Amino acid sequence: MVQQGQIDHLLQETGQILPPASLVQQAYLQDHDAAYKDSVENPEAFWEKVAKELDWFKPWDQVFEWTYPTFKWFLGAKCNITYNALDRHLTNGNKNKAAFIFLGEDGSERVFTYGRLAQMVNRFANGLKSLGVKKGDRVVIYMPLSPEGAIAMLACARIGAVHSVVYAGFSVGSLRGRILDAQAKVVITADVGYRRGKEVDLKGICDQTVEDLDLVEHVVVWSRKGPPETPRPRDVDFDQLMADGSIDCPAEEMDSEDPLYILYTSGTTGSPKGVLHVHGGYMVGTYYHFKTFWDVKDDDVFWCTSDIGWVVGHSYIVYAPLVAGATTVFREGAIDYPHPGVFYETIEKYGVNVMFTAPTLLRMLMRYGEEYPKKYNLKSLRFLTCAGEPLNPEALKWSYEFICGSGEWGHIVDNWWQTETGGPCLGTSATMPVKPGRVGRALPGASLDIVDREGVPITEPDKGGLLVITKPFPHFYRTVYGDPERYAQDWNTIPGVYLTGDVALRDAEGYYMVVGRADDVLNVAGHRIGSAEVESALVSHAAVAEAAVIGKPDELRGEIIKAFVTLRMGQEPSDEMVAALKLHVREELGPIAVPAELEFMPVLPKTRSGKIMRRLLKANELGIDPGDITTLEE
C-alpha cells in the first residue's frame, strides 16, 4: 500500500502508477497483449467469438465485408440489441436484478429491475406503434437524463425505429436542425429537466422549435410536474401512452446492419454530422469493451456520469451495461449540487465499484479540496475511468490519491474515443501501468496509427502526427446520415485510413498521448463543439458581419470559447452587444456553446483566398508564435 505523500515520490521515480494487485488479480482481461494481437491478426475470428456470447435470431453468413470506405459486420444475421439488453435477462437469473438506479438532484431514487424495465419498454414501444411509428422511422428524443429517456431510446430500438437523442442542454437551433435532418415525425420530450435545483423548460424550447415544423406529427411529453393545463394539439402524454400499451412487444427482427441510432456531433463545417450506428456490430463491440475494459463483474455497481445526449451515455449508460446485465447508477443534474460532497456520498451510499467520468469533473472536485473525499468511505471504488479530453497529470494524481486511496482500494485510468467509434480505442486497461499524461495503448480491436499529412506512418517514438484508424471494427459508425460523401471524406483525405481529427504521439512502449484536435473542433468540458457552428450562430445575429471562434486553454474546462466579431455598419461595440450576442448563441445552440469571451475587431485576419485565419487569432491570443502550431492546425 502506498502511503499518503508517497505518491509524488512514486510518480517521479517511475513516471508510472502501477495498478493495485487486487485489481490485477480479478481483471477479466489478464493478457492484454495476447488479446490485442489476436484482434488485429484475426479480427474476424476475434469478433465472431465475442458475438457468439450474445443472442441472435439468425446467425451471420459472413463476418466482415469491406468495400472501402464502407463495410459491414455479421452479414445476413438477424438480431435486435434490445433482445440482448432486456429479454435475455428475463430467463438468465437477472430478472429481479437492478438494471438502473436513477438518482435525482433532490436525493430521490428510483430502481428499475430488468423485469420491470422490459415491461416498461414494451409498453412504450407499443405506444409508439399506436402513433404510427414504424421500422426505419426516425424519432427525436429531447429528454433529460432519466429512465424515461432511456426507455424512449430502447422502445425505438425495440420496434426498429431509429432514435436521435438531442442533449437536453441544447436549444432551439440545434433541436430544429436535428429534427429536420432526420425528418422526424415524432419528438419525445419532458416538461422540464432539473439542474442546480432549477427547472429547464424543455417543453417551451420544444414548442418553439416545432411551431412551424409541420412534419412533426406528435410531441410525446413526459409531464413530471403533473398534467399540463393547456396541452397543444400535437401533444401526447408519455405516461398515458405507457399505461395504454400492452406489456408484450416482441423485438422487431433487424438485420445486423440496420440503423439503431443517429447521434449528431460537431465537425469542421457549420452543420453537425449525424453519426449512424447499427444494431449488430455496435452491440458486440460496446459489450466487449464494457466487459474487458471497464471490467464490470456481475455483483458490481457501475456509475457513468455522462448523459444520454452524448455517445458515452448511449454506449455506457444505456446499451452495453444492459446487454452485459449490469447494475448502472445515473444521476440527473449537477455533480456538485446540492453540495460538493454529493459525488462521494453517492459512491459510498450505492457502493459504486466502477465509474466512468470526465476529467473536467475531477478538476472541479479537486478545486473543492480533499476535505470532501475524506469525509466518505470510498473503498468500494475499484476502478475510476475517464474519457472525453486529456486527463491532465494533476487531476490524475489528485484523484488517485484522494478518490482511489493511492491504490489502497482504487485505481484511475484514461481512455480515448469519439462519437464515430462508438466505444474506446485507446486506454489503460486494468492490468497496465498508468503513465500520467498518456491515455494508454491501443485496445483490442482497434487498428490505429499515427501518420503525417501524406499518410506515411510515423514510427519514431514521441513524434506527433495525425491519429488514424486503419481498419473498421464492428462498433465503428457506418455513415453520416443522409450524407455518405461526408463519411467518405474522412476515409479519403488520406486514402486508406480514417482521420480521427486528433493529433497524437506514441512512445516506444506503445502508449499514446492525444495532444488535441488537428481541425477547428473545440473541446469544452469534454464536449465537442465546432467553431464553425458557433460562428454560424453568431453571424445569424443581425448586428454581426463576421465571426471567428477559437479555443483557449482553461484550467477547469480544458478549453473555453473565445469569439472575435466584426459588426455591421452602424452597429457599435458595447457591453450590451456582448450580452446580446451571448444570449443569441445560447438560444441558437445552448449554454455549452456560449463564448466565455467575446472581442470586437474592425476586421478579421484572412488568407488571400478569404479564409479567416483562426490560427493567427489563436497565436495572438495565447502569445505564441503562429509558426509553432502550423503542424497542429489546418
Of 13-21, 223-231, 494-502, 531-539, which segment contacts ligand AMP by CB under 6 A? 494-502
Nearer of residues 301 and 317 to ligand AMP, judged by Cβ: 317
414 contributes a contact to ligand AMP by CB under 6 A: yes
**Segment contacting ligand AMP (CB under 6 A): 196-204, 227-235, 495-503, 610-618?**
495-503
Tell me how far, at minimum, the Cβ of 32 lies from ligand AMP, in Å: 18
Is 514 near ligand AMP (CB under 6 A)?
yes
Among 82, 164, 265, 305, binds ligand AMP (CB under 6 A): 265
Complex with ligand AMP: residue 438 or 615, whichever CB lies closer: 438
Is residue 593 a contact residue for ligand AMP (CB under 6 A)? no
218 or 438: whose CB is closer to ligand AMP?
438
Which parts of 68-107 interact with ligand AMP (CB under 6 A)? none
Q: Which stretch binds ligand AMP (CB under 6 A): 6-14, 28-36, 222-230, 496-504?
A: 496-504
Query: Contact between 519 and ligand AMP (CB under 6 A)?
Result: no
**Which of 397, 478, 517, 618 is the binder for ligand AMP (CB under 6 A)?**
517
Vertex 267, ends 263 and 272: CA angle to 5°?
A: 45
Q: Which is nearer to ligand AMP, 517 or 614 (CB)?
A: 517
Q: E strands within 12-154?
A: 62-67, 70-75, 78-79, 98-103, 109-113, 138-142
What is d(CA 525, CA 478) in angstroms, rounded to the nearest whole number? 27
| Smallest separation, CB 465 to ligand AMP (Å) | 15
- Among 201, 130, 142, smallest CA distance to 168 is for 142
Give the shortest CB-634-to-ligand AMP separation in angstroms.
Answer: 14
Distance of closest approach, residue 243 Cβ to ligand AMP, in angstroms: 36
Residue 395 CB, nearest approach to ligand AMP (Å): 12
Least separation in angstroms between residue 286's CB and ligand AMP is 14
CA distances (Å), 424 to each of 294, 334, 444, 523, 550, in order?
A: 10, 25, 10, 17, 27
Ranges of beta strands (E only) in 218-361 are 218-222, 235-237, 254-255, 259-265, 273-278, 301-304, 327-331, 354-357
Taking the C-alpha atoms of 305, 307, 308 and 310 in order, what is their torsion angle to the nearest 10 degrees?
-110
Question: Secondary structure of 89-130 in the HEC alphabet?
Answer: HHHCCCCCCEEEEEECCCCCEEEEEHHHHHHHHHHHHHHHHH
The pairing of strands 138-142 and 162-165 is: parallel
| Contact predicate 246/126, CB 8 Å | yes
Q: DSSP assignment of 539-554, as one string?
A: HTSTTEEEEEEEEEEE
Taking CB under 6 A as the rule, does residue 429 contact ligand AMP?
no
To ligand AMP, the closest distance from the beta carbon of 632 in angstroms equals 12
How many CB atoms sit inside 10 A of residue 536's CB?
Answer: 18
Helix (H) or strand (E) holding 527: strand 527-530
Q: Please identify, among the stretches 90-98, 292-300, 411-419, 456-464, the one whose residues bind ligand AMP according to the rule CB under 6 A.
A: 411-419
How many residues belong to the site for ligand AMP (CB under 6 A)? Answer: 19
Peptide bond between residue 69 and the one before it cis (omega within 30 degrees of 0): yes
Instruction: Give Cα separations from 330 to 151, 159, 308, 530, 629 (angstroms).
Output: 14, 25, 10, 28, 40
Q: Which is nearer to ligand AMP, 439 or 450 (CB)?
A: 439
CB nearer to ligand AMP: pick between 39 and 418: 418
User: Which residues, listed in sequence order, are joined to residue 112 by a DSSP beta bridge?
Assistant: 100
Minimum distance, C-beta of residue 558 to ligand AMP, in the bound complex (Å) = 9
- The C-alpha cell that represents 287 in the structure block: 459489450
Measured from the CB of residue 473, what is the shortest distance to ligand AMP in angstroms?
16
* Mask for 539-568, x = binds ligand AMP (CB under 6 A): ------------------------------
Which residues lie closer than 8 Å to 277 by C-beta, 6 or more apart? 259, 260, 261, 263, 314, 422, 475, 477, 478
The burial of 626, by beta-carbon neighbours within 10 Å (0-12 exposed, 13-18 middle, 19 or more buried), is given as middle
Q: Using the rule CB under 6 A, which residue among 99, 202, 439, 450 binds ligand AMP?
A: 439
329 vs 335: CA distance, rounded Å? 13
Residue 601's CB is within 10 A of a number of other CB atoms, namely: 15
The residue among 444 and 516 lying less far from ligand AMP, judged by its C-beta, is 516
Judged by CB under 6 A, the residue of 171, 189, 305, 419 near ligand AMP is 419
Query: Could you give phi then psi for residue 14, rounded to 5 degrees?
Result: -115, -15
Quote the least distance from Cβ 310 to ligand AMP, whole Å: 6
Closest distance of CB 472 from ligand AMP, Å: 16
- Of 265 and 328, CB closest to ligand AMP: 265
Kindly give, in sequence order, each residue whose CB lies less than 8 Å from that of residue 80, ignoring residues fewer than 6 positions away.
57, 157, 158, 160, 251, 252, 253, 254, 279
Grid-cell match 432511456, residue found: 150
Stretch 301-340: interaction string toward ligand AMP, x if CB under 6 A = ----------x-----------------------------
Nearer to ligand AMP, 208 or 392 (CB): 392
CA geometry: angle 470, 473, 475, nearest 5 deg: 135
Out of 83, 416, 473, 498, point to the residue binding ligand AMP (CB under 6 A): 416
Cα–Cα dist 241/627, whole Å? 60
Out of 209, 500, 531, 536, the only residue in the binding site for ligand AMP (CB under 6 A) is: 500
Give the residue with the Cβ less far from ligand AMP, 84 or 418. 418
Nearer to ligand AMP, 48 or 519 (CB): 519
> What character string, x for contact with ligand AMP (CB under 6 A) and - otherwise, covers 366-405?
---------------------xxxx---------------
Cα–Cα separations (whole angstroms), residue 316 to 194, 248, 520: 22, 26, 27
Based on CB atoms, which residue is closest to ligand AMP, 266 or 431? 266
Which one of residues 174, 399, 418, 531 is an interface residue with ligand AMP (CB under 6 A)? 418
Q: Name the segment binding ligand AMP (CB under 6 A); options: 44-52, 145-153, 292-300, 499-507.
A: 499-507
Instruction: Select the span of 66-74, 79-87, 93-101, 410-418 touching ligand AMP (CB under 6 A).
Output: 410-418
Beta-carbon contacts of residue 539 (< 8 Å; ≥ 6 apart): 545, 546, 547
Cα 608 from Cα 131, distance rounded (Å): 55
> What is residue 592's DSSP assignment?
G
Residue 220 or 396: the one with the smaller Cβ distance to ligand AMP is: 396
Ordered strands of the 411-416 beta sheet = 109-113, 98-103, 327-331, 301-304, 354-357, 383-386, 411-416, 426-427, 441-442
8-state DSSP, 355: E
The residues that touch ligand AMP, with contacts defined as CB under 6 A, are 265, 311, 387-390, 414-416, 418-419, 439, 500-502, 514, 517, 523, 528
